[in-house]
C-alpha cells in the first residue's frame, strides 16, 4: 500500500494523526470547560453561603450592640468571621478568631480584602474571603466572612491528575478508533489501487471493483471503470486501425510486386507499357491511402482546424461540382447564395469532396447538392438516388475502414476512409454530419457548420 514511501506518510497514518489529535483536543477542551464550570459553580456557592452568613451576623446585632462571640454559620460550619469598626479594630469574631487582631483590611470604597501579617499561621492560604460593608445601629462596619476552599483544591487536584492520566488514554483510544475506521473506509481505495496495478495494455478488459456505495469512493471507482472502458475502446479501435491500415497499404504494394514479378518472369514478351500503367495506378492508390492516414493522424492530434479563415461555401461547392467527373450522372447544384463559414479551406474542400464522391459512386442517375442557412448554421445536403443505407448502419458508415458489405473487394478503389475523414473534419470545425432518414431509395448526407458572423 505504501510503495516506496515511508509508512508514516501514508494517507491512513496522516488521517489518523490529524483526526486523533482533533478528537483528543476536543475531549480535553470539553474537560477543561467542564472543570471551569464546576469551579464557577463552587465559587458561586461559597460566595452565596458567605453573604448569607454576613446577613445572619448583621441581624444578630440589629440594635447596635455586638455579641462578644459570633454564632457559627447555619450553612457552613467551617466559616469564620470578624466584624471591623471603621478604624480597623475588631468588634466581634467567631470562636477561633476571638481576641485576635484583624486578619484582613478593607478600604471603605472596596470589597476586596487585603490579607495582613496577623493571618499568618492562623488563616490558611486556600480560603475564600468576602467583605460586606453594612450600617448597623447607625455605625458603618465591615463584615469579613471566610471559609476554606478545600473543595476547589480537590477539584483542581482531581482535574490535574485525571488530565495527566487521561490524556494519553484518550489519545490512544481516539487514534486506534480512527485507525480502524479509516482503514475500513480506505479499503476500497486499496482494492482499486491493487486492481489498477494489475491492468496492462494487453488486457484492458479488466475493471476495478466498485464498492456499490453512493459516496466519493464509489464515484471514483465508477469513473475509473468508465475511463478503462474508453481506453479499451480506443485501444481496440487503434488495433483495428493498424490492422486495416496495414491491409490497405499491403494490397497496392502486393499488386505492384505481382505485376512486376509477372513482367520480369517474361521479360521479352511482357507488355511493359501496360505493366507500368498498372503499377502507376496502384502507386496512386497507395499515395491516396497514405494521405488519408496522415490526415486521420492529424485529426487525432486535433490539428484539422488550424489556419482558420472565412471560407465561401458557395464558391467551394461550385469548384467541387465543376471538377467532379459525372459520367452518366446528373449532378445538380442549387445556388446557396452568399454563405461563409470559418475554417480551413483545404480541409473543408476534402470534406465536401469525400461526401460527393461517395454519392457519385452509389448514385444511379442523379446527385443533388443544396445549401441553406438556419439558426446561425450553414446546412449542406448531398443526396443520391442509389440503394440507400440501412438505418442500423447510418452511424457506422462514419467509422474508419467500414464497408457495409463487409467485403475486401478493392474493385471500387475505395479504402473506407472517406466518410470517416469527413466526420473528423466537420467535428474539428465544431459542426456535425449525419445520414438523414429518407423514404424509399437514396441517401442524403446532412452537413452543418457554424456560420460566419460578420463583426458589427
Strands (E), 8-48: none
Residues of the chain above pLDDT 90, percent: 7
255 and 380, same structural domain? no
Looking up cell 458567605 gives: 50
Please give the DSSP secondary-structure letter assigned to residue 203: B
Query: Given CA atoms 409, 411, 412, 415 in this order, what sign does their dihedral have?
Result: positive
pLDDT at site 445: 94
328 and 404, same structural domain? yes
- What is the DSSP secondary-structure string of 64-126? SPPPSBPPPPSS-TT-EEEEE-TTS-EEEE-GGGTT---SEE--TT----EE-GGGTTTS-SS
Mean pLDDT of all residues in 94-109 = 84
| Burial label, 382 (beta-carbon count in 10 A; 0-12, 13-18, 19+) | buried
250 and 310, same structural domain? no
Q: Indicate whether 171 belongs to any domain.
A: no
Q: What is the C-alpha to C-alpha distance for residues 309 and 371, in angstroms, rounded to an integer?
A: 20
Q: Where are the alpha helices (DSSP H) in 133-271?
A: 150-198, 216-265
Q: Indicate whether 165 belongs to any domain.
A: no
Judge whether residue 332 has pLDDT over 80: yes
Could you report the per-residue pLDDT of 389-403, keeping only the tens digit for each? Answer: 888 888 888 887 777
Q: What is the C-alpha to C-alpha distance for residues 402 and 418, in angstroms, rounded to an integer?
A: 10
Judge whether residue 100 has pLDDT over 50: yes
Q: What is the C-alpha to C-alpha distance for residues 353 and 416, in angstroms, rounded to an integer?
A: 14
Looking up cell 488550424 gives: 306
313 and 425, same structural domain? yes
Q: Are the C-beta atoms of 384 and 456 separated by less than 8 Å?
A: no
Q: Are the C-beta atoms of 211 and 188 separated by less than 8 Å?
A: yes
pLDDT at site 277: 85
pLDDT at site 454: 61
Q: 145 phi and psi, to 5 degrees?
A: -125, 135
Looking up cell 445538380 gives: 332
pLDDT at site 407: 34
Classified as helix, coil or strand, 325 is coil
Q: Indicate whether 332 belongs to any domain.
A: yes
Domain of 277? Answer: 234-297
Looking up cell 475588631 gives: 90
255 and 336, same structural domain? no
237 vs 69, more confident: 69
Residues of the chain above pLDDT 70, percent: 90
321 and 253, same structural domain? no
Could you report the per-residue pLDDT of 288-316, keeping only the tens digit for each? Answer: 778 777 777 777 666 666 667 888 888 89
**Reduced 3-state DSSP string for 342-380:** EECHHHHHHHHHHHHHHHHHHCCCEEEEEEEEECCEEEE
At 337, which CATH number?
3.30.565.10
Q: Indicate whether 409 belongs to any domain.
A: yes
Judge whether residue 179 has pLDDT over 70: yes
Q: 244 phi and psi, to 5 degrees?
A: -65, -40
Q: What is the C-alpha to C-alpha distance for residues 315 and 308, in angstroms, rounded to an integer?
A: 17
Judge whether residue 338 has pLDDT over 70: no
Contacts of 336 by beta carbon, 8 Å cutoff, 6+ apart? 313, 314, 317, 370, 371, 372, 373, 378, 380
Judge whether residue 413 has pLDDT over 60: no
Q: Which of 420, 445, 414, 426 is nearest to 377 (CA)?
A: 426
351 and 254, same structural domain? no
User: Of 297, 322, 341, which residue is a domain's last?
Assistant: 297
Could you report the per-residue pLDDT of 345-401, keeping only the tens digit for each? Answer: 888 998 998 899 889 988 889 999 999 988 889 999 999 998 888 888 888 888 877
Q: Indicate whether 60 belongs to any domain.
A: no
User: Of 120, 150, 180, which residue is a domain's last?
Assistant: 150
Q: What is the C-alpha to C-alpha distance for residues 356 and 97, in angstroms, rounded to an integer?
A: 121
81 and 136, same structural domain? yes
At 276, which CATH number?
1.10.287.130
Q: Where are the alpha helices (DSSP H) in 266-344?
A: 272-300, 313-323
pLDDT at site 2: 47
Mean pLDDT of all residues in 329-340 = 82
333 vs 109, more confident: 333
Q: Indicate whether 438 belongs to any domain.
A: yes
134 and 110, same structural domain? yes
Judge whether residue 203 has pLDDT over 90: no
**Least confident segment among 7-11, 88-92, 126-130:** 7-11
Q: 419 phi and psi, to 5 degrees?
A: -70, -30
pLDDT at site 455: 56
Q: Indicate whether 134 belongs to any domain.
A: yes
| Burial label, 433 (beta-carbon count in 10 A; 0-12, 13-18, 19+) | buried
Q: Which of 114, 113, 146, 143 is nearest to 127 (CA)?
A: 146
User: Of 150, 183, 202, which residue is a domain's last?
Assistant: 150
381 and 322, same structural domain? yes
Could you report the per-residue pLDDT of 247-277, keeping only the tens digit for each? Answer: 667 777 887 888 888 888 888 888 888 888 8
Q: 424 phi and psi, to 5 degrees?
A: -60, -40
| DSSP β-bridge partners for residue 128 | 147
Q: Indicate whether 157 belongs to any domain.
A: no
Could you report the per-residue pLDDT of 48-85, keeping only the tens digit for each? Answer: 888 898 888 888 876 667 887 888 888 888 888 888 88
Classified as helix, coil or strand, 246 is helix
Q: For residue 375, is it left (φ>0), alpha (ψ between -120 and 50) or beta? A: left
Judge whether residue 90 has pLDDT over 70: yes
278 and 339, same structural domain? no
Instruction: Give the count of domains, the chain.
Output: 3
328 and 407, same structural domain? yes
pTM over 0.75: no
Average pLDDT, the chain: 81
Q: What is the C-alpha to C-alpha distance for residues 437 and 448, in angstroms, rounded to an integer?
A: 16
Q: What is the C-alpha to C-alpha distance for residues 456 and 57, in angstroms, rounded to an integer?
A: 98
Amino acid at each position: 500500500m505504501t510503495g516506496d514511501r515511508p509508512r508514516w506518510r501514508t494517507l491512513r497514518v496522516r488521517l489518523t494523526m490529524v483526526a486523533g489529535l482533533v478528537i483528543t483536543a476536543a475531549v480535553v477542551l470539553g474537560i477543561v470547560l467542564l472543570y471551569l464550570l464546576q469551579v464557577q459553580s463552587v465559587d458561586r456557592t461559597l460566595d452565596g453561603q458567605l453573604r448569607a452568613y454576613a446577613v445572619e451576623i448583621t441581624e444578630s446585632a440589629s440594635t447596635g450592640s455586638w455579641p462578644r462571640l459570633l454564632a457559627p454559620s447555619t450553612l457552613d460550619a467551617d466559616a469564620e468571621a470578624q466584624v471591623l469598626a471603621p478604624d480597623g479594630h475588631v468588634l466581634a469574631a467567631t470562636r477561633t478568631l476571638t481576641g485576635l487582631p484583624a486578619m484582613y483590611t478593607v478600604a471603605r470604597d472596596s470589597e476586596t480584602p487585603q490579607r495582613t501579617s496577623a493571618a499568618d499561621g492562623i488563616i490558611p492560604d486556600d480560603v475564600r474571603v468576602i467583605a460586606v460593608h453594612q450600617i448597623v445601629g447607625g455605625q458603618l462596619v465591615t463584615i469579613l466572612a471566610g471559609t476554606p476552599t478545600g473543595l476547589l483544591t480537590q477539584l483542581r487536584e482531581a482535574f490535574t491528575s485525571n488530565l495527566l492520566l487521561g490524556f494519553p488514554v484518550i489519545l490512544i483510544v481516539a487514534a486506534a478508533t480512527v485507525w480502524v475506521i479509516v482503514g475500513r473506509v480506505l479499503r476500497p481505495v486499496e482494492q482499486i489501487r491493487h486492481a489498477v496495478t494489475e491492468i496492462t495494455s494487453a488486457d484492458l478488459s479488466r475493471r476495478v471493483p466498485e464498492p456499490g456505495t453512493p459516496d466519493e469512493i464509489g464515484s471514483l471507482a465508477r469513473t475509473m471503470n468508465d475511463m478503462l472502458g474508453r481506453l479499451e475502446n480506443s485501444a481496440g479501435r487503434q488495433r483495428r486501425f493498424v490492422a486495416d491500415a496495414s491491409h490497405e497499404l499491403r494490397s497496392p504494394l502486393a499488386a505492384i510486386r505481382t505485376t512486376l514479378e509477372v513482367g520480369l518472369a517474361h521479360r521479352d514478351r511482357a507488355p511493359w507499357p501496360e505493366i507500368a500503367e498498372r503499377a502507376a495506378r496502384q502507386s496512386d492508390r497507395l499515395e491516396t491511402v497514405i494521405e488519408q492516414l496522415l490526415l486521420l493522424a492529424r485529426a487525432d492530434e486535433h490539428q484539422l482546424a488550424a489556419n482558420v479563415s472565412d471560407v465561401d461555401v458557395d464558391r467551394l461547392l461550385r469548384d467541387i461540382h465543376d471538377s467532379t467527373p459525372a459520367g452518366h450522372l446528373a449532378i445538380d447544384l442549387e445556388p446557396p447564395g452568399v454563405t461563409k463559414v470559418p475554417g480551413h479551406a483545404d480541409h473543408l474542400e476534402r470534406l465536401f469532396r469525400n461526401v460527393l464522391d461517395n454519392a457519385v459512386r452509389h448514385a444511379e442517375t442523379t446527385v443533388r447538392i443544396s445549401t441553406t442557412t438556419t439558426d446561425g448554421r450553414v446546412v449542406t445536403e448531398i443526396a443520391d438516388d442509389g440503394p440507400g443505407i440501412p438505418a442500423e448502419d447510418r452511424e457506422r458508415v462514419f467509422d474508419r475502414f467500414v464497408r457495409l458489405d463487409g467485403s475486401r473487394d478493392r474493385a471500387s478503389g475505395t479504402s473506407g476512409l472517406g466518410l470517416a475523414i469527413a466526420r473528423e473534419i466537420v467535428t474539428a470545425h465544431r459542426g456535425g454530419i449525419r445520414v438523414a432518414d429518407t423514404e424509399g431509395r437514396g441517401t442524403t448526407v446532412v452537413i452543418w457548420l457554424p456560420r460566419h458572423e460578420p463583426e458589427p
